[in-house]
Structure 1
Amino acid sequence: MSKKTQTSQTEIIITGFGGQGIILTGRILGMSASLGDKKESTLVQAYGPESRGGACNAQVIISDRPIHYPYVNTPKILVAMSQAGYDKFAPALAPDSILLVDQDLVNPENAACDHYAIPSTRMAENLGNKMMANIIMLGFCTAITQAVSSEAAQATIARSVPKGTEERNIEAFNKGFDYGLSTLKGREKRAAGQTGAVLQ
């Protein structure tokens, strides 16, 4: 039996502006992978000149093996919640990368890869708390990419958000997750040549 030399490693960049909970999203992803899914993970966070309103990003690597270099060069997954963040990291995308955007905040023009869009900020406003847009996006990302398991993400969210808001944040995660599943289903139908309601 030949030994598997291919390491399964997923490199992720989450980008947006300060105040969107970008770093928290990265932390939840990394913790979900290590504590929930028993994988290796690293998190590198970077802020722009001002934290609130300035550009920030979280770089997460999830792997089956020890990670020796924690910085992401070519993201397998890019989650963009601001146009400036998208513009900064879009050149690093490869044709087989996965791009996820907040469709009201990012126009992924000339993206090198396939992209998926969700109105996460609008959905959070409809839930009565704009600050949960990052958790909705996390649910969407989990459904589309399966970078972490839904169970691990929900357990980590419950540990990571302010006391008393656990239920509402898990509801937000599930809204994003369901939207992601519907998006995938819609694409499958289109690929199979069936007509049906198309989620935008």
Structure 2
Amino acid sequence: MRAFLSIVIAICLAALTGCANPPKVDERFVAALNAPYRLDSGDTLRIMVFDQPTLSNTYTVDNAGNISMPLIGDVTARGLTPQDLQSSLTSKLSAGFLRNPSVSVQVDAYRPFFILGEVGNPGQFPYVAGLTARNAIAIGGGFTARANQTMVEISRNYNGTLVQARVPLDHPIRPGDTVQVLERWF
């Protein structure tokens, strides 16, 4: 009986303190945070082609991961860095359309992030640079009364694979992340 009671007390204390051993963060999750920014559906790009006002415009990466430009049609953008896309566009435009094109690609607006779980207003929100989980929770209406206020679970796409990790509130958020505010036990 005494052993059973001590186990129950240990479990309760671990739940109240948030766990003696926090979960180990997947290495792919950390790699995704440190990797260069990769374009995906929902990103809006400002593409400038020097001396070509009909090609210079704002383009949105569609659900298939492409942008559609005059002269060259659909161009794959998903998974590329802005610099990679710039090189791809330069190559396609120089293949019979323009001599020595000078192309610039900048992210005009990042794809949104999502927040779910124990927040006042879950949903989709525009990404802003420097966003942390704590800021995302504030944007989502703050914690509910049942929320775990020590850590969140973040889901992130990395090289076509969904990786998840439980992280502290000051962890950076990237465009396209899903932040899940968990329910606390007590």
- Taking structure 2 as the reference length, the TM-score comes to 0.22
- The structure richer in strand per residue is 2
- Taking structure 1 as the reference length, the TM-score comes to 0.21
